[in-house]
């Protein structure tokens, strides 16, 4: 009788332990991935990021980084939610994603409380790198918002591949880069031999700024083949202040307008008719109805991610009637 009771107790104990076993097939796969994971070292201009295992809790402090994670189907634990582009709106509304403050001034206390094991930043948060890197490996994107050139797209693609490698998402990362490359080559083929000249102009409450080949949008000229209407080489992330006389002087065939006011004040983008001016009316762009107000959230809030580049290239092709 005692033997039977002991056997019964052992059976009950086995059932309880089996029911509490958290190691599912999915967990086994994750554990095996971590066991096979080789430390990854990524050197960038701010230092070296060392990732020793697949991150479980990642935050992104720049919208380009949020888009990169989204394209690779990687969950996001936290992000700034002050200026979120429409193509990432579902992340802004997700209550499970912690709001980490502002893009240019993230809330460090919230970041510390979240205890991430990977942080993605851009030059907009570079001044916080030392503090953040003490908390968790902090990966810095080398995108240049001051003066981009034809290697800008290469930097973006390499960054996507690096993030893909960290999360064992190399296949998906290569698919994203390949799709981007197809669009880039198609866009360049359609415009590089065209004779039209163009201007990229930022509108901010009536004030205008020009972005030429040495600006944050320089890669559009050098990598995609757009011809600048102006020989101006002033560099900078905020563009060169200009007047309507400047536009009239260089008389572009195409004008692309980025409406910063719409982004900063949450307004609808202006129409080209709102830009009406006697001098502007004399330009080829106005006469031929080739003044195009582009997607400001893709161009201004992001501008250096897969989704942003795809939208920007479509906007560019519209100007050439080449969509």
Domain ranges in the chain are 36-142, 181-319
pLDDT greater at residue 47 or residue 7:
47
In DSSP terms, which residues pair with 242 in a beta bridge? 208
Residue 59 phi/psi, 5° resolution? -125, 150
**pLDDT tens for each residue of 129-171:** 999 999 999 999 998 887 787 789 999 999 999 999 999 999 9
Same fold, 36-142 and 181-319: yes
**pLDDT tens for each residue of 87-114:** 999 999 999 999 999 999 999 999 999 9
Taking domain 181-319, whether its CATH number is 3.30.70.360 is answered by: no
Q: How confident is the model at residue 274 (pLDDT cuts 50, 70, 90)?
A: confident
pTM: 0.87
**Best CA proximity match to 180, nearest among 309, 316, 296:** 309
pLDDT greater at residue 71 or residue 12:
71
Q: Calculate the average pLDDT of the chain.
A: 89
The pLDDT score that the predictor gives to residue 221 is 95
Residue 49 phi/psi, 5° resolution? -100, 130
pLDDT at 14 > cutoff 80? no
Q: Where are the beta strands (DSSP E) in 54-140?
A: 58-60, 78-79, 98-99, 118-121, 138-140
For range 198-207, the mean pLDDT:
95
| CA-atom Rg of the chain in angstroms | 25
* Share above pLDDT 70 across residues of the chain, in percent, rounded to a whole number: 87
Cα separation, 291 vs 270, whole angstroms: 12
What is the topology classification, in CATH, of domain 36-142?
Answer: Rossmann fold (3.40.50)
For range 249-259, the mean pLDDT:
97
How large is the greatest C-alpha to C-alpha distance in the chain, in angstroms?
A: 106
The pLDDT score that the predictor gives to residue 150 is 76
């Amino acid at each position: 009788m005692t033997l039977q009771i002991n056997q019964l107790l052992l059976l009950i104990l086995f059932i309880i332990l089996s029911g509490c076993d958290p190691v599912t097939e999915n967990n086994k796969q994750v554990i095996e991935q971590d066991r096979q994971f080789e430390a990854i070292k990524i050197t960038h201009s701010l230092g070296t990021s060392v990732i020793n295992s697949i991150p479980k809790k990642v935050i992104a402090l720049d919208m380009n980084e949020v888009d990169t994670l989204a394209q690779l189907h990687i969950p996001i634990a936290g992000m700034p939610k002050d200026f979120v582009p429409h193509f990432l709106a579902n992340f802004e509304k997700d209550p499970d994603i912690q709001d980490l403050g502002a893009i240019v001034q993230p809330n460090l206390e919230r970041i510390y409380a979240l205890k991430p094991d990977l942080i993605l930043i851009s030059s907009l948060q570079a001044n916080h790198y030392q503090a953040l890197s003490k908390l968790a490996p902090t990966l810095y994107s080398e995108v240049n918002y001051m003066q981009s050139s034809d290697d800008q797209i290469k930097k973006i693609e390499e960054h996507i591949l690096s993030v893909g490698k960290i999360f064992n998402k190399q296949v998906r990362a290569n698919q994203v880069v390949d799709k981007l490359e197809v669009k880039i080559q198609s866009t360049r083929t359609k415009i590089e031999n065209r004779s039209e000249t163009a201007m990229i102009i930022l509108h901010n409450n009536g004030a205008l700024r020009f972005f030429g080949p040495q600006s944050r949008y320089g890669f559009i000229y050098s990598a995609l083949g757009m011809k600048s209407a102006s020989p101006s080489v002033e560099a900078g992330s905020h563009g060169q202040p200009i007047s309507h006389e400047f536009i009239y002087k260089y008389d572009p065939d195409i004008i692309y307008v980025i409406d910063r006011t719409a982004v900063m004040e949450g307004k609808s983008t202006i129409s080209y008719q709102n830009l009406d001016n006697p001098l502007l009316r004399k330009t080829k762009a106005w006469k031929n109805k080739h003044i195009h107000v582009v997607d400001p959230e893709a161009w201004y809030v992001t501008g250096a991610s897969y989704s942003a580049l795809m939208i920007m290239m479509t906007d560019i092709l519209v100007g050439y009637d080449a969509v």
